[in-house]
Structure 1
Amino acid sequence: MAGKKADIWQPVIERPEAAGRVILVCEHASNHIPDQWDDLGLTADQRQAHIAWDPGALGVARGLAERLDATLIHAPVSRLVYDLNRAPDMAGAMPARSEVHDIPGNAAITATERLARTEAIYLPWTNGLHNLIANRIALGRRPVVITIHSFTPIYHGRQRLVEFGVIHDADAHLSVAILDAAHRKTRLQAELNSPYSAADDVTHTLRVHATPYGLPNAMLEIRNDLIATPEAQAKMAETLAPVLNMGIEEIQKQAKAS
């Protein structure tokens, strides 16, 4: 799309007037590749695969938003066009290769094209999420920021036994509290900082939008074979909603005791 100005892609915000404290974020909600990027040279199967999005994550996030009376913000385009959980200077923001797949449309992307995508997708997203959080803070409703992701059961040929991962960045309090609640209230194989951790540069959203304000935050990873259907997504949301509530209540108790 050299020489062609990209359309602007705004984040999708659902339940903006929700009364709950939680803001749910789903950066990899969509596998949509707008026409102006010509499918990035990918096949239909590749565009449906995990490299293009987090299958099942949006369905779980919507189920959680209903059960927690939370606001949900999610991405309008595929993470292969721009990964909204990556900073503009990171190679993974517009990857030339993802897992075992080459991404032809990103292979020789120029600085001008990177800027165009950043302006078209990342900046509207960042401003939208920032404004959502800042408005809540201004109203005296300091939010809890929780991002929702899914991951593949097999990665580079290796099976992953973990089913539910809770990842933290600088502040581990909420993640640890959620993990403890998951161990007590579910049968999920739940682990801390698995299958990824902040060392893998997967906590960009938390670092930019939660940490500077001192907001409680966590990143959730759900194995995608457990949420492959709408029914499974609803069941997972039903399982995790009380877990998240317990985690939030626990850190509130800790804050009062300190």
Structure 2
Amino acid sequence: MAAGDRDPIEIENADGAGAFVIVCDHASQTVPLDYASLGLAPEALDRHIAWDPGALGVARQMAADLDAPLLWPDVSRLVIDCNRDPAAPDLIVAEGDGLTVPGNSNLDAAERTRRLAAVHAPYHAAIEACLAARRAAGRQTSLIAVHSFTPVWRDRHRPWQIGILFDDDRRLADTLIGALRADPTLTVGVNEPYSPADRVYYTLSRHRAQDALAAVMIEIRNDEIADATAQQQWGSRLATIVRDFAIDGQAAGPAAA
């Protein structure tokens, strides 16, 4: 980020008193001016490789319904992917999904370090600060990450309208899967279309560890959330499900063995 640029980390409802913290790692398609669009045509930044269309609208509705803090980086994942380990090979992609990103080609270590310091580190520091404040206040907390995915990937049709991703802690995932599968019109992915083994669980793994927080990643097929109305509907539906989880008193504390 150039000197004088605004803070790229967005925090909404920071003092929310509900039982959840929501993150949206790929909310934005914004490329800061000093990156010169990474050498891409404007329409390239509309593609899924640049961001998760619709995810922020869902996350905002969930945060509003649950009185939850919402954190997200207002920077495209093409600049740096905040949901990847700093050592991951796809932290900054030069090619992907048939797209070459000129501004990411042949990056030296200094430029990688600069982007980590400008976006990645502040984002995760903000999440850590939010969780620390809630811990100090004695607030019950579970973590939710909201993402979206494409209907087709590498010529493979993805039948799931929604996918629920989890690691060894199934508490919140099982609540969502059970409620969603009760709707016969839905095909619900369980660790589909991705799983933590695909290195997509970095944010949740990093931040749930200290207090063994319940955590889940929600992936919604982006044709399901193509407009504001659909985003609000899905956000409220999901908020209703996870609110029951919090009411049941399961949202904090270690998973059962």
Residue identity matched to 2:199: D
Asked if the contact 1:9–1:124 (Cα under 8 Å) also holds between the matched residues in 2, the reply is no
Q: Is the 8 A contact 1:14 1:73 kept in 2?
A: yes
TM-aligned CA distance change 1:6 to 1:88, over 3 Å? farther
1:86 match: 84
Partner of 1:241: 239
- Does 2:30 align with 1:32? yes
Which stretch shifts more, 126-135 or 6-15?
A: 6-15
Q: Aligned with 1:196: secondary structure?
A: coil
- Which stretch of the first structure deviates more once superposed, 245-254 or 110-119? 245-254
Question: How far apart, in 2, do the equivalents of 1:250 and 1:186 lie?
Answer: 25
Q: What is the alpha-carbon distance in structure 2 between the residues aligned to residue 236 and residue 27 of structure 1?
A: 18
Cα deviation, 1:153-177, whole Å, max 9, x if unaligned, reads 0101111001110101231221122
Match of 2:128 in 1: 130
* 1:8-23 → structure 2 map (5 Å cutoff): 9-23=7-21
2 CA distance for matches of 1:6 and 1:168? 39
The alpha-carbon deviation at position 6 of structure 1 amounts to: 9.2
118-127 vs 205-214, greater mean Cα deviation: 205-214
The SS at the match of 1:50 is coil
**Residue of 47, 58, 61 corresponding to 1:60:** 58
Q: Which has the higher helix share?
A: 1
Q: Verify the 8 A CA contact 2:164 2:192 in the aligned structure 1.
A: yes
Q: Please tell me whether the aligned partners of residues 8 and 119 of structure 1 are also in contact (alpha carbons under 8 angstroms).
A: no
Match of 2:100 among 99, 102, 108: 102
Deviations 1:30-88 (A, max 9, x none): 00000111111111111111111000000011111111111111111000101110111
2:18 maps to amino acid: G
- The code of the aligned residue for 2:237 comes to T
State whether residues 186 and 239 of structure 1, in contact with CA within 8 Å, keep that contact through their aligned partners in structure 2.
no
Contact 2:17 2:139 in 1 (8 A): no
Normalised TM-score (structure 1)? 0.92
In the TM superposition, what is the alpha-carbon distance from 1:253 to its structure 2 partner? 9.3
- Correspondence for 2:213: 215
**Is there any run of 5+ residues in structure 1 with no aligned partner, and where?**
none
What root-mean-square deviation, in Å, do the aligned CA atoms of Structure 1 and Structure 2 show?
2.2
> 2:28 & 2:145 partners in 1: Cα distance?
14
Measured in 1, the distance between the counterparts of 2:104 and 2:117 equals 16
